[in-house]
Amino acid sequence: MFKGQINTEQVFPYPSVLSEEQAQTLQELVGPVSRFFEEVNDAEKNDVLEKVEDKTMQGLKELGAFGLQIPVSLGGLGLSNTQYARLVEIVGMHDLGVGITLGAHQSIGFKGILLYGTPEQKEKYLPKLATGETIAAFCLTEPASGSDAASIRTTAELSPCGTHYTLNGGKIWISNGGLAEIFTVFAKTPLKDEATGEVRDKITAFIVERSFGGVTHGPPEKKMGIKASNTAEVHFDAVRVPVENVLGAPGAGFKVAMHILNNGRFGMAAALAGTMRGIISKAVAHAANRTQFGDKIYNFGAIQEKLARMALLQYVTESMAYMISANMDQGASDFQIEAAISKIFGSEAAWTVTDECIQILGGMGFMKDAGVERVMRDLRIFRIFEGTNDILRLFVALNGFQNAGSQLRGLQQAVKNPLGNAGLLVSEVGKRMRRRAGFGTGISLSAVVHPSLSSSAERTVRAIDLFAGTVEEQLLKHGKKIIDEQFVLKRIADSAIDLYAMVVVLSRASRSLEQGHSTAQHEKVLCDTWCMEASDRVVQNLTSLRADSTRQFFKNLRSISKAVVENEGVVSPNPLGI
C-alpha cells in the first residue's frame, strides 16, 4: 500500500486454511475449552486472589492448553496459528488474566525455542513445557530499556574455557516471572568482528533454567489489571549458562526477540476479538431489557450508534486476526506490519468497546458485580506491553517508508539510464500524472471484491492512491529525516491501519456474500459502514499533511509540550488567581 499497490493474492479471497482434519480437531477442542471457562474458571475469584486458582491451572494442563503449538511428537497439540487463534479467542472472552499466563508461557515464553531452537534444545525443553510441568517466561524488559530493547544492560560473558556464559543482571515486569522454571533471556555479549577485529557488545538470546542457580525473583507486582497473572522482577546473579543454551546465533538476540514478538501479536488480536464478543453480549442483554422513558433503550439512537460501532470494531479486529494467522499458516514470512497493525487496532478497539459497554450499563456497569470494570482494568495493559502502540505506529510507518524509499531509489537509478528503462519510466510518470489529476493510477479490486461491495472497493482504491502519493511526497520532502517527523509518522500509520482494515473487511464480507452465508447481508452493512468512515478519516489525515495550518498545528504542539515540561506541569495558573 505504501507503494500504491495491492498484493491481492495475500488478502483475497479471505483465506480458508484449515484442512478437514484440522477443522475436526478444532471442533473437538472448542466445546471443552468453552465449557471449562464457563464452568470451572472463576475470573472474579482469580482477580481477587491475584493468582490463577490451582484447580484452574491443573485443568488447563489437562486440556493441553500449555502446549497448543508444540508438535505432537514433543507432547503438544500441534495446532496451526489459525487453530491457536480460535482457542485464544475463547480465553480472551472469559479471562484475560488467565490469557496472559498462557500467552506469556507459549506466545513469547518458549516461542523462541520453537522458532530458533536446535533439535536438541526442543527435545530437552518442549515436552515438559507442553504439559505445563514447567512454565516459561520471556525476559527482555529492564529498568532502563522498555521500548528501546537495544539498550539492555544485562550481560553474559563467555568463560575462558568456552564452555559457558556467566549471566548477570535483572529484568522487570516479567509475566510468569515468579512461576517460571525456563526463561528466554536477552543479554549483551562481547563479540569480535572477524573482519575488523573490533570487539563490540551485541545482544544474544539464552535458554536459562532456574535450576542453574543464581536465578531469583521478587514478590508479585501490584497491578491495575490482569491481577490473576504473575508479574515479577527476575534477577540473574553469576548464572552459569552452558554454550549449548544459546538460542539462535551469538549476537543475533535482537532479531530473535523481534521475531518472537512479531510472531505472537496476531494472538493478541484474536484474544481481544473474543473479549469484545463477550462484552457486546453484556451490553446487548442490558439494552434489550432496560426500559427508560417508556421504551427499551436499544430503540434510542444514542444506544444504537454505540452498539453499531462496537460491532464494527469487533468485526474488524476479528477479520484482521484470522487474516494474519492464515497468512502465517500459508507460509508468509513478511507479516510484521500487519501483525503490529492488528495489535494496535485490537487493543484500542477493545478498550473503546468496553468503555461503551459501561456507558450503556450506566451505574450498573461501574459496579464490580457486572464484571465489566475488571475487563476494563485488564485491557489497559494491552496498549503498553509487547510493543507500546506509540512505538508500533512508528514501526508501521517507518517500515512502510523504507519499502517506498527502495522503490524511489530504483526509479532514481532508472533515470540515469532512460533508454534502457523507458518502459518503467513511462509507466511511473504516467501513474504520477494520473494521480495528480485525480484519475487514480489504475489499481482495482473489482476482480476480487463481490459486486455488491463495489462502492466500498472504489473508496478503498482511491484512499490507497492518495496514501501512496502522500507517502512519496513526504519522502521527497524529508528524505532520511522522516524518522524524526513523528507527527507525520503517526498520521501515516493511522491511515495505514484504516486502509488495512478496509481491505480485510472487504475480503471477509466478499467471501460471506459469495458463499451465501446467513450473515452475509449484515456483514455487507458492516463492511460498507466501516469503509465509509475509514476512507473519510484517511482523506482527512493525509490532506491535512499538505496544509500550512497543519505545520503550524504541529509547531504549537511542540511549543505547548516544551512549556509544560519546563514548568514541571500545567503552565497556566488557576483562573481564580487563588
Which residue type, as a one-letter code, is found at position 191? L
Q: What share of the chain is helix, strand, coil (3-state, %, to 5)?
A: 65, 10, 25
For residue 202, report the phi and psi dihedrals to the nearest 5 degrees. -135, 155
**In 3D, which of 17, 46, 36, 126 has the Cα closest to residue 87?**
36
Residue 21 phi/psi, 5-degree rounding, is -70, -40
CA gap 469, 486 in Å, rounded: 19
Catalytic residue among 386, 428, 472, 485: 386
- Decide: 337 and 399 in contact? Cβ < 8 Å: yes
- What are the b/e assignments for 308-325, b being 16+ CB within 10 Å? ebbbbbbbbbbbbbbbbb
Q: Is the dihedral of CA 369, 372, 375, 379 positive or negative?
A: negative
Grid coordinates representing 141 are 524488559
Give catalytic status of residue 386 as yes or no: yes
| Integer Cα distance of 229 and 91 in angstroms | 13
Q: Which of 42, 38, 37 is nearest to 52 (CA)?
A: 42
Phi-psi region of 394 (alpha: psi -120 to 50; beta: other; left: phi over 0): alpha
| CA angle at 279 for the pair 278 and 280, rounded to the nearest 5° | 95
Phi, psi for 240 (deg, rounded to 5) = -90, 110
Three-state secondary structure call for residue 159: coil
Residues facing residue 137 across a β-bridge: 183
Query: What's the rounded Cα separation, in Å, for the pair 41 and 49?
Result: 13
Q: What is the DSSP code string of 388-449?
A: -HHHHHHHHHHHHHHHHHHHHHHHHHHHTSTTTTHHHHHHHHHHHHHHHTTS--S---TTTS
Which CA distances in Å does 24 have to 27, 403, 404?
A: 5, 40, 43
List of residues 6+ apart from 44 with CB closer than 8 A: 368, 371, 374
Nearest-angstrom CA–CA distance, 56 and 86: 20
User: Cis omega (within 30 of 0) on the bond before 219?
Assistant: no
Distance CA 561, CA 554 (A): 11
| Spatial separation of the C-alpha atoms in residues 457 and 463, rounded to whole Å | 10
Residues marked active site are found at 386
